[in-house]
Amino acid sequence: MSEVIQGAGDSVDRREWLARCFWSIITLVGLGLAAPLVGYFLGPLLRRRETLRVRLGAVSDFQANQPQKVEFVLRQRDGWVTEEGRHAAWVVKRSTDDVLVFDPRCTHLGCAYHWQVKENRFLCPCHDGLYDIDGRVIGGPPPRPLDVYPATIEGGELFVVPLAQRRS
Amino acid sequence: MFTGRALADWFDERIGTRAVGRALFARKIPRGVGWIYTLGSISLFLFLVQAATGAFLAMSYAPTPDHAFDSVRFIMEQAPMGAMVRGLHVWGASAMVLVVSVHMLRTYLTGAYKYPREATWISGVLLLLVVLGLGFTGYLLPWNEKAYWATQVGTKIAEQAPFVGPAIAQVLRGGDDLGAQTLTRFYAFHVLLLPAVLLLLVGFHLFVVVRQGISAPPIRGEQLPDDPVTARRMVRERYQDAKEAGDPFYPFSLAKDAIAILVVFVVLLLLAWHSPPEVGDIADPTETSFNPRPEWYFLFLFQLLKYFPGSLESVAAVVLPSLGILALLALPLLDSRLRRHPLDRPLATAAVVLTAVAIVWLTVAGARSPLVSPYVPRPRLVDDGMRLARELHCAHCHSVRGQGGLVGPDLALSMPAHDGAWMRIHFRNPQAVVPGSLMPPLGLGDAEIDALIAYVDELRGGGPYGDQAPRMTRRYCSECHRIAGRGGDKGPDLSGIGDARSRSFIHRYIEDPKSLIGNSQMPGFLAPDGPLTHAQIEDIARYLAAQRATPSQSRDVSEPSSSGSGSETNGG
C-alpha cells in the first residue's frame, strides 16, 4: 500500500488519492453496515402472515337470515409470544351451503357494529354507518361493504380464516 | 455548485463548521505514526457498530425472564438478517474488548500516557472498564444457560468484596437471587446507563486526543534535563517540531484508519456469517449439569480463582482486580518520568509483558480446562414441547412417571403404539381419535403440535425403535451391563436407565463416553473405531431410553416397541 502511495507522484496527487481512498472505504463500510440493519428493520414487510383456520361451529347451529355474533379464541404467534386472543365475527347464514362471515369492524373507521333486529340492519354507532344483511352499505359514511373472512363448510362444520378480505 | 457553497457558508456563519473542521481534520500528525496507531479509530468504529446493531436489536428484545430467550431466538431464527445483526453485535463485543486492550497495551509500551497525556490515559482506563461492564451486562440478556450461570458466578464474586460485597451483589441483582429484576437492571445498564457514560468518556477522550495531539513515536535514549519544568517545556517543543513535520490528519491518517476499519469490518462480517452466535438452552435454575463458563475475556479471572483456594479466594476475585484497576488509573501519577521508549524503561516494560503473558496463559488454560459436567443440550423441539406442556398446565391432568394429575394417562408410559400421525390428530381434536375423551381441544398451531410430539416422544424413550434394537443391545451391551436381570456387572445396571437419562444423552454416551464422563471405562461404539453406525446407536439409545423402572412399565427386554403395554384405550 505505502509503495503505491509513494509512487503516486507529488503530494497533491497523493493527498487526492488518499482522500478518495478514505471516502470510498467509509462509504463501503457504511453501506455494508446499513444493509443488514435496513433488512432487519424492514423485516415486518417481508414476513408472511400466518393463516389459521378456526372452526366456528356446525352450520345447523345458525338460524337462517339471523346474523349472529360468534366469539372464538385464537392462538396466535406474535413475534416471540404465542397468545390466546379473543376474536369475534358476524355469521350470516343465507342457506345451508351459503354462509357469510363478516369481520366485526366497520369499514369506515374500524368501530364495532351490531345487528338491529327490528330495523333489520347493521348499525355502526360511531358515525351511524348502516349495512344490510349482506353487508352492503345502505347509509352513512362507510366507503365499502363489510369485509369478510374466507369461509368454508366441511361436513356441516363452518371454518373461517380470520383475515379480513375486501369484497369486490 | 452555488447552492452547496451557499449552504456551507450558512452553516459556517452560524456554527463555525470550517474552524471546527480545520481543528479536527487539518491538524497535523507527527511522522512515523504507523498502523498500530489505528487501534483508537477502530475502537471508535466498533463502538458505532455496537450502538447501531444494539439499537436495532432492542426493537425485538424483551427484557423479562419469560420472553427474553424467545425474543433472542426470534431474532436469530425469524427476523430477516437478525442473525447477521446479532452476529455483528456479539462478535463486535469481543472485537471491542480485544482492540481496546491492545490499544491500551500500545499506549503503555510507547509511554504515551506520560506528560501531557495523563488525562487521556485515565479516561482510557475508565473506557476499558465501561467496555468490560457492557460485556458483562450484555451476555446476561439472552437469558440462556450460559448467561444465567455466568452472571450467577459474576454476582457471587461481587459478594466476596470485603464489608460491602453482599450489599453490592444485592443491588446488582435487584434481590436475593437472579431474576426478573436482575434482567431489567442489567438491561438498563447495558442499553442506557453504560452507553451514556461511554459516550461522555469517548467525547472527553477524543477532546484531549485532539487537544494534546497524537503522541509521536518514542525516541530511544532521549536526552532530557533533570529540572522537571525545563524538561516538560522541552517535551512540548519537541512535540511541536515533530507535529509540524507531519502530514494533516485528513486524509493521510484517516485513509490508514479507514483501511484498518475495512479489514476489521470484513472480519466481523465473515465471523457473523460463518459462526452466528448461538442461542443456547433457556436459563434453567434447576439444571445441575451445565458447565458455567464466562466470555473469553473474563476467562483469565475464572482460571485465576482456581489457584486461590478457600479463604484466599476473595484475594483473586476482588483484591487483585481492584488493585490492578487502581494501578492502571494511577499509573501516570506513579510514573512521572518523561522518558517514553520501552527499552529506556525496562522495569515497566518487563512488568507489562509478564502481565500480558500471564493473562494470555490464564485465558488459554481456562479455555482448555475440561468441562466436568456431562452436559448434552436438549434437542430444541423437545425443549419447546416441555415448555409448552408447562404453559398449558398438562400436569394438572397428566403425570410424567407418576408425578402429576391422574385424570389422563401418564405421558411417559401411555400411548406406546401411537405414532406421530395419531398424536397430530389427537392434539388437534382429542375426541376424533378417542371418543369421549375429557381432554379439551387446545387450538394449537402446527409448530406447537410438532413440539409436543417431540416432547412426548422423548418422554417415552425418544421415539420408536426397530425390531433389531433389543437384540443389538443384548449383543453389544450385556457383556458389561445388566438389563432386566440379565447381563454382566462391569458397568451399571441399565434396567431403569430411561428414568435417569434422555435418549440424546444415551446416544452421545454410546458414541463417545469420555466426552460426557471423563473417567468412563466404556469404549466408544461409533464406527470406524467401534462396531456400530450412527443409525444403529440411535436405535439402541431409543430402546434404552424406553427402559423404565417404574412399576407400571412392563415392557420386556426381548419385545419390540410395537407390542408394548396396552393402555392406549384411555389415551387422551
Q: Which residue of A has its CA nearest to B448?
A: A82
Contacts of A79 in chain B (CB under 8 A): 60, 71, 74, 78
Gap between the Cα atoms of B572 and B565, Å rounded:
16
Contacts of A52 in chain B (CB under 8 A): 445
User: Domain limits of chain A?
Assistant: 4-46, 54-167
CA neighbor of A115 nearest in space, from A166, A151, A62, A43: A62
CB B293 within 8 A of CB B300: no
Residues of chain B with CATH 1.10.760.10: 380-459, 468-569
Kindly determine whether residue B80 and residue A77, on different chains, have CB atoms separated by under 8 Å.
Answer: no
Res. A49: pLDDT tops 70: no
Q: Is A45 on the interface with B (CB under 8 A)?
A: no
Tell me if the bond preceding B374 is cis, omega within 30° of 0.
no
DSSP A87-143: EEEEEEEEETTEEEEE-SB-TTT-PBPEEETTTTEEEETTTTEEE-TTS-EEESS-S
Partner residue facing B84 (CB), from A22, A25, A36: A36
Residues of chain B with CATH 1.20.810.10: 31-282+327-346
Per-residue pLDDT tens for B116-151? 999 999 999 999 999 999 999 998 999 998 899 888
Q: Sheet containing A81-95: which strands, arranged edge to edge? A: A68-78, A81-95, A98-102
Return the C-alpha cell found at B528: 470406524
Determine whether B526 is exposed, middle or buried from the number of CB atoms within 10 Å of its CB (0-12, 13-18, 19+): middle
Gap between the Cα atoms of B107 and B95, Å rounded:
18
Q: Is A79 on the interface with B (CB under 8 A)?
A: yes
Residue type, B129: L
Contacts of A77 in chain B (CB under 8 A): 445, 447
Query: Does residue A37 sit in helix, strand or coil?
Result: helix
CATH number, span B380-459 = 1.10.760.10
Query: In chain B, how long is the greatest CA-to-CA distance?
Result: 101
Neighbours of B220 (CB within 10 A): 10
Q: Minimal Cα–Cα distance from B412 to chain A, Å? A: 26
Chains A–B, number of C-beta pairs less than 8 Å apart: 95
Which helix (H) or strand (E) is A73 found in, with range?
strand A68-78
Q: Which residue of B has its CA nearest to A19?
A: B251
Using DSSP, how many helices (H) and how many strands (E) does chain A show?
3, 10
Q: Which CATH class is domain B31-282+327-346?
A: mainly alpha
Query: Which of A72, A80, A161 would you mutate first to test chain B, the one with the most B CBs within 10 A?
Result: A80
Query: Which of B252, B261, B392, B427 would you mutate first to test chain A, the one with the most A CBs within 10 A?
Result: B252
Return the C-alpha cell found at B378: 436438549
Per-residue model confidence as pLDDT tens for chain B (572 residues) = 568 899 999 999 999 999 999 999 999 999 888 899 999 999 999 999 999 999 999 999 999 999 999 999 999 999 999 999 999 999 999 999 999 999 999 999 999 999 999 999 999 999 999 999 999 999 899 999 889 988 888 888 888 888 888 999 999 999 888 999 999 999 999 999 999 999 999 999 999 999 999 999 998 988 888 888 999 999 999 999 999 999 999 999 999 999 999 999 999 999 999 999 999 888 888 777 777 888 899 999 888 888 887 778 888 888 889 999 999 999 999 988 888 999 999 999 999 999 999 999 999 998 888 777 666 667 788 888 888 888 888 888 888 767 778 888 777 766 555 777 888 888 877 877 787 788 887 778 778 888 888 888 877 776 677 778 888 888 888 888 888 778 888 888 888 887 778 788 888 889 888 887 777 888 888 888 888 888 889 888 888 887 776 544 434 333 333 333 333 333 33
Return the C-alpha cell found at B419: 405414532
Per-residue pLDDT tens for B524-538? 888 888 888 888 898
Q: Which residue of B has its CA nearest to A72?
A: B443
3-state percent helix, strand, coil for chain A, nearest multiple of 5: 25, 35, 40
Q: Is B198 on the interface with A (CB under 8 A)?
A: no
Kindly determine whether residue B82 and residue A43, on different chains, have CB atoms separated by under 8 Å.
Answer: yes
Fold of B468-569: Cytochrome Bc1 Complex; Chain D, domain 2 (1.10.760)
Q: Minimal Cα–Cα distance from B73 to chain A, Å? A: 8
Q: Is B152 on the interface with A (CB under 8 A)?
A: no
Q: Is A53 on the interface with B (CB under 8 A)?
A: no
Fold of A54-167: Rieske Iron-sulfur Protein (2.102.10)
Q: Is B84 on the interface with A (CB under 8 A)?
A: yes
CA atoms within 13 A on the CB side of A115: 18
Query: Which of B81, B264, B391, B431 would you mutate first to test chain A, the one with the most A CBs within 10 A?
Result: B81
What's the confidence (pLDDT) of residue B562?
A: 38
What's the confidence (pLDDT) of residue A85?
A: 81
Q: Is B25 on the interface with A (CB under 8 A)?
A: no
Kindly determine whether residue B254 and residue A22, on different chains, have CB atoms separated by under 8 Å.
Answer: yes
ipTM over the 0.85 cut-off: no
CA angle at B161 for the pair B155 and B166, rounded to the nearest 5° = 60
